[in-house]
């Protein structure tokens, strides 16, 4: 009888603990790009493999880097900028920011000691998990673009801050546009 009671008590404790577990998987937060295509995972490898539309989202055609005449790396970074802005609910790199990415790729390839952090950010709309996932996709899109231009993976790191570090406070369209970004920091 004592063993039966102990077994029942153990089963009840296990059932109670199982009920406390969370089923939310932070790595599997769905994010939709602007075209409405669902992309299920933040993983960079799955990013390109999830659908043909997702592949086109991060595809960047490698270009031969242009030679800068008598320009230091720091000058090129300042001249080219360091922020890539995104459309609402999208992680597609807009064509006008290709030059920013190319400039950073040239500097990073020219100095193997430099490292780049790519920080993904979102505006204040959406939940915390969704925005962290979207920010990661934005950072990964820029990191992948740099990689396609020849920057070694060992020189880059992509991280998401979601909506936690806004560039501009407020709910105006201008503030939200400034917050949908990826920032490239070279050190």
Q: What is the pTM of this model?
A: 0.61
Using alpha carbons, select from 62, 63, 45 the residue that is nearest to residue 54. Answer: 45
Which pLDDT value is given to residue 16?
61
Which pLDDT value is given to residue 10?
73
d(CA 39, CA 52): 11
Superfamily for the 71-186 domain: OmpA-like domain (3.30.1330.60)
Which pLDDT value is given to residue 142?
96
Residues of the chain with pLDDT under 70: 1-7, 9, 11-80
Which pLDDT value is given to residue 15?
65
Using alpha carbons, select from 40, 29, 48, 50 the residue that is nearest to residue 143. Answer: 48
Please say whether the beta carbons of 128 and 115 come within 8 A: no
Which pLDDT value is given to residue 41?
40
d(CA 67, CA 166): 35
pLDDT by residue (tens digit) across 100-154? 999 999 999 999 999 999 999 999 999 999 999 999 999 999 999 999 999 999 9
d(CA 85, CA 134): 13
């Amino acid at each position: 009888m004592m063993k039966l009671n102990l077994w029942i008590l153990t089963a009840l404790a296990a059932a109670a603990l199982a009920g406390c577990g969370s089923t939310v998987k932070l790595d599997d937060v769905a994010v939709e790009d602007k075209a409405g295509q669902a992309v299920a995972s933040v993983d960079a490898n799955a990013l390109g493999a999830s659908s043909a539309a997702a592949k086109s989202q991060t595809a960047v055609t490698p270009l031969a880097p242009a030679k800068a005449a008598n320009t230091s790396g720091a000058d090129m970074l300042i001249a080219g900028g360091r922020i890539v802005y995104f459309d609402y609910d999208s992680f597609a790199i807009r064509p006008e920011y290709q030059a920013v990415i190319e400039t950073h790729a040239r500097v990073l390839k020219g100095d193997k000691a430099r490292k780049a952090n790519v920080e993904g950010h979102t505006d204040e709309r959406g939940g915390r998990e969704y925005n962290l996932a979207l920010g990661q996709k934005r950072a990964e899109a820029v990191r992948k673009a740099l990689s396609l231009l020849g920057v070694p993976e060992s020189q880059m790191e992509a991280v998401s801050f979601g909506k936690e570090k806004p560039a501009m406070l407020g709910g105006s369209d201008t503030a939200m546009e400034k917050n949908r970004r990826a920032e490239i920091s070279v050190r």
